[in-house]
Amino acid sequence: MNVPTIDENPSADYLLWIGCTSALDKRGHSVAKSLARVLKRANVDFAVLGQKETCTGDPARRLGNEYLYQNMANQTIATLKAHKVRKIITLCPHCFNVMKNEYPHLEGDFDVIHYSKFVDELISNGKLTAIGEIKENVSYHDSCYLGRQNNIYEEPRNVASSIPGLNLLEMNKNREKGFFLWRWWRPCLARRESRNEN
């Protein structure tokens, strides 16, 4: 797939931020490639950083290493500013949250949008339509950093609902009451937080 880098398309309207999961996880690769195909189909002028993209620092901050977070965030902000990036589409909810809500405290002011919201806007504006039917029952898990932290609940559902034949089924615990995945990683915290969550 031919996706231009920021060096090849320095005046791109959008930078597609791939993120660690999509860059390093085999399943994540397919998400990034699929989104790139969607953006191309909708004639979105975009580029990626390629080898210049580094971690946003979000994992370091979530694990309590503020020093490492600030170093990584400042490095990313400097790279984005050096390429005069203004608009960023993110794949990862964590990257979205940190770039949108936390980078401004480090003078990293960018127009950041999560891809689910961006694709929903493309569909709403008639720039993107389904090319086929998918007869499947699906459900959508509300990410904490997309949902609870940034109140993005409807846009991913709108995108799924726009696909002919797709039957969107809601989980018992959804939206604000969705399952908190951090418990899978930190079982000791799950017991302490169980009174407050779900």
pLDDT 10s per residue in the chain (198 long)? 789 999 999 999 999 999 988 888 888 788 899 999 999 999 999 999 999 999 999 999 988 999 999 999 999 999 999 999 999 999 999 999 999 999 999 999 999 999 999 999 999 999 988 888 889 888 877 787 787 888 788 898 888 888 888 888 887 877 777 766 654 444 444 444 444 443
The pTM (predicted TM-score) of the whole model is 0.85
Cβ–Cβ < 8 Å for 40, 2: no
pLDDT for position 111: 97
Residue 192 has a pLDDT of 45
pLDDT digit string (tens) for 139-164?
A: 877 787 787 888 788 898 888 888 88
CB under 8 A, 24+ apart: contacts of 23-31: 23/53, 28/91, 31/91
Task: Please work out, in degrees rounded to the nearest 5, the angle formed at the alpha carbon of residue 181 by the alpha carbons of 179 and 185.
Answer: 150
User: What pLDDT does residue 189 have?
Assistant: 46
Q: What is the rounded CA–CA span in Å between residue 122 and residue 141?
A: 22
**Residue whose C-alpha is closest to residue 146's, from 175, 122, 118:** 175
Domains of the chain (ranges; CATH) run: 1-129 (3.40.50), 133-198 (no CATH)
- The first and second tokens of residue 95, run together, are 């990257």
Give the per-residue pLDDT at 171. Answer: 79
Q: Are strands 14-17 and 87-90 parallel, antiparallel or unpaired?
A: parallel
Residue 146 pLDDT = 81
Counting other chains too, the contacts that 157-162 makes at CB distance below 8 Å and 24 or more residues apart are: 158/120, 158/123, 158/124, 159/116, 159/119, 159/120, 159/123, 162/123, 162/129, 162/130
What pLDDT, on a 0 to 100 scale, did the predictor assign at position 68?
96
Cα separations in angstroms, 195 against 142, 143, 145: 20, 20, 20
The torsion defined by the Cα of 156, 32, 104 and 78, in degrees rounded to 10, comes to -170
| 3-state secondary structure labels for all residues of 80-128 | HHHCCCCEEEECCHHHHHHHHHHHHHHCCCCEEEEHHHHHHHHHHCCCC
